[in-house]
Structure 1
Amino acid sequence: MTSLLRLIQNEQMKIYARVRTWIMLGILVLAVIAMAILMKYVVETGMNHVLQFMSFTTNITGLAFIFAVIVAGDSVAAEYTWGTIKLLLIRPVSRGKILLAKYISVLLFLAVLLLLLVIVSYLVGLVLFGVSGAVSPESTFKLILQAYGFKAVEMVMAVTLAFMISAAFRSSSLAIGLSIFLMLTANSIVMVLASLKYTWVKYLLFANTDLSHYSGGGMPLLSGMTLGFSITVLVIYWLVFYAVSWLIFTRRDVAGG
């Protein structure tokens, strides 16, 4: 357990030692500030409460998603690109533990992005919009956290997919590009297939990532889909993604490339 914590600490140092990471965090903060200024002084929104602003900033999670995928896609592949993989594997710990530390570090970075977004949204919203206005039923703190939770599920699956591609193909650009492409286009493809009454669509990953369909009496994408069904599908995909990552990373002959 101690060795795993040390590996995680080392991976966290790698992530935050890169200027790119701080640029991404800075962009996320600036995006919140820019949106607040735009909605306060440029666009007539009638917004007059911090919770209304926080509810709206859940849309910026798409930016956090891209940043998390970049780190995930680079996590394993970068070791091969930089030629540091052999130095990493000569440590007296198993490859499986090294991979787990990398994956946990990626999830921790994702958590930092979402936490930063929540905190900055609250602080900026508090300064510009205050707490004196009326709050709509859709803008309660509980519903805002619920919305972030639904987004987090989608992002964890996307990050795990990018991590798998990174481990399997040792290509950061492929992992990042393919993951972002799928997450941006898959929902539209799923909707088209669902409208054509293809029942097998409900077994696809991207038909189940948006759990908000089941919130507040919402309707599932297809008949027969329930919250339990979607969670089960997501767990199966998650297990497959990580199992593929583990099998390839632990059995690849590094010396032979």
Structure 2
Amino acid sequence: MSKARRTAEENAHLDQGVHTDPAALEELTDAASSEATEVGADGAVAGYRAGRTLRLGVELRRQLRRRRTQLVLGFVVLLPLILVAAFEIGDASPNQRSGGFIDLATASAPNFVVVALFVSGSFLLPMVVALYFGDTIASEASWSSLKYLLSIPVPRHRLLRQKATASALLSAMTVAALPLVALIVGIIGYGAGEAISPTGDAIPFGRSLLAILLGTGYIIIQLAWVAALGLLLSASTEAPLGAVGGTVLVSILSSILDQITALGDLREFLPTHYSFAWVDLIATDIDWANMASGVLSSVVYATVFGLLAARRFATKDITS
């Protein structure tokens, strides 16, 4: 008798015995239950490490391959070129040395960078941050992949942290790309001159680079409240568009209320009140008070929204 045939007959005999002999079934059950599953000191299955799940590098590469990330980065890189084309079509004079920020855009490369940050600070940059953070959890839920990530298992707090960290790095990279590209385009188009403020102050090119670096850092920190709010809404809904749109809507509403002078000192409690405090860096005598208030305001809002996001995600019933 061949080995294959003998094995098949033994299996058939075993199956028949299991179905007809309760004692055999009980014996097999006891044998299976006696096989000990090897576990670690923390109670987890041996070999499982929570720190090895959803690694940051993997999540970053995954996000960078997404079309929306590539489109956002591409638009940010193209924005300075669009501004140059607009100034060329218009009547902007490269010798302009007075007026507002827009009038001074073509005076030098630093001024061009300041204008690029100024025109994008009200809507574009908050929208970019809202897109990265508002989409991060809600998109997984909309794809019905969130429950599978948690069943790997990826601990909830780690999943939220890794997603938020990847979104923060993407946001910082996108925001930083704007002044970098604008500086290169400005040097080519308008030269490396002094940075001139609407008040008439002029600072050397070297110091203006430091001012741009500090200003970019301030913008990233100031947008932390947008990031935390987007994360909260993303953890609260399965609709990415709703999370992103809700975050942008709150930002726009805060900016509108900030324009109502009748609110008086109450405007200082709005998260967008100090959004443009970084322009004080383009001055010979820098006033740090507004920037310090802006950092404090953003950190407080970001902390509150971040804690709410963590609590919401930790207690949420994940069904998708």
With normalisation by structure 1, the TM-score equals: 0.82
Structure 1 pair 213–22 and aligned structure 2 pair: CA distance change class (3 A): closer
Q: Does 1:124 align with 2:185?
A: yes
SS in 1 for 2:148: helix
Conservation of the 8 A alpha-carbon contact between 2:53 and 2:154: no
> Given the alignment of the two structures, is residue 66 of structure 1 paired with residue 66 of structure 2, yes or no?
no
**How is 1:88-99 mapped onto 2 (pairs within 5 angstroms)?**
88-99=149-160
Give the 3 Å change call, closer, same or farther, for CA 10–239 of structure 1 in structure 2: same
Where does residue 177 of structure 1 map in the other structure?
Answer: 245
Change beyond 3 A, Cα 1:35–1:240: same
Q: Which has the higher contact order (CA 8 A, sep 6+)?
A: 1
Structure 2 residue aligned with 1:83: 144
Q: Secondary structure at the match of 1:254?
A: coil
Once the 2 structures are TM-superposed, how far is the Cα of residue 172 of structure 1 from its aligned partner? 1.3
- Please state how far the C-alpha of 1:183 moved relative to its aligned partner: 1.2
Q: Distance in 1 between matches of 2:64 and 2:313?
A: 24
1:205 to 254, 268, 271: 271
Please list the CA deviations of residues 191-239 of structure 1 after superposition, one character each: whole Å capped at 9, or x if unmatched.
42x5344x5554443445554498633886xxxxx935x5444333222
Q: Aligned equivalents of 2:270 and 2:129: distance in 1?
A: 22
Using a 3 Å threshold, how does the CA distance of structure 1 residues 129 and 238 change in structure 2: closer, same or farther? same
**Distance change in 2, residues 1:181/1:130 (3 Å):** same
* 3-state DSSP of counterpart to 2:244: helix
Relative to structure 1, is the Cα distance of residues 45 and 167 closer, same or farther in structure 2, using a 3 angstrom cutoff? farther
| Structure 1 residue 122: Cα displacement | 1.8
- Indicate whether 1:217 and 2:276 are aligned: no
Residue 153 of structure 1 and its aligned partner are, at CA, apart by: 2.6
Question: What pairs up with 1:40-51 in 2 under 5 angstroms?
Answer: 40=88, 42-46=90-94, 47-51=106-110
**Given the alignment, which residue of 64, 82, 86 partners 1:16?**
64
Distance in 1 separating the partners of 2:243 and 2:154: 26
Structure 1 or 2, whichever has the larger Rg, is 2
Q: 2:73 aligns with which of 9, 18, 25?
A: 25
Instruction: State how many pairs are aligned.
Output: 247
Q: What aligned pairs does 1:111-150 form with structure 2 within 5 A after superposition?
A: 111-131=172-192, 133-136=193-196, 137=202, 140-150=208-218
Q: Please tell me whether the aligned partners of residues 224 and 298 of structure 2 are also in contact (alpha carbons under 8 angstroms).
A: no
* Deviation, structure 1 residue 146: 3.0
> Cα distance, 1:78 vs. partner?
0.7
Question: In 1, are the aligned partners of 2:224 and 2:299 still within 8 Å (CA)?
Answer: no
Distance 1:115 1:14 in 2: 21
2:226 is matched with 158
RMSD: 2.9
Q: Confirm or deny: 8 A CA contact 1:205 1:234 kept in the other structure.
A: yes
2: CA distance between counterparts of 1:8 and 1:180? 26
User: Residue type matched to 1:246 in 2?
Assistant: A
TM value normalised by structure 2: 0.67
Change (3 A) 1:34 1:186: same
Q: Check the 8 A contact 1:28/1:64 in 2, yes or no.
A: no
Unaligned 5+ segments in structure 1 are 221-225
Please, which of 239, 247, 251 is the counterpart of residue 303 of structure 2? Answer: 239
Whether the 8 Å CA contact 1:4–1:97 is kept in 2: the answer is: no
Q: 1:153-188: per-residue Cα shift (whole Å, max 9, x none)?
A: 332211211111110123212211121122123123
**SS where residue 45 of structure 1 aligns?**
coil
Measured after TM superposition, the shift of residue 98 of structure 1 is: 0.8
Structure 2 SS opposite 1:83: coil
The 10-residue stretch of structure 1 (17-26 or 55-64) with the greater mean CA deviation from structure 2? 55-64
Alpha-carbon contact 1:50-1:126 (below 8 Å) kept: yes
Letter in 2 for 1:127: I
Contact 1:213 1:219 in 2 (8 A): no
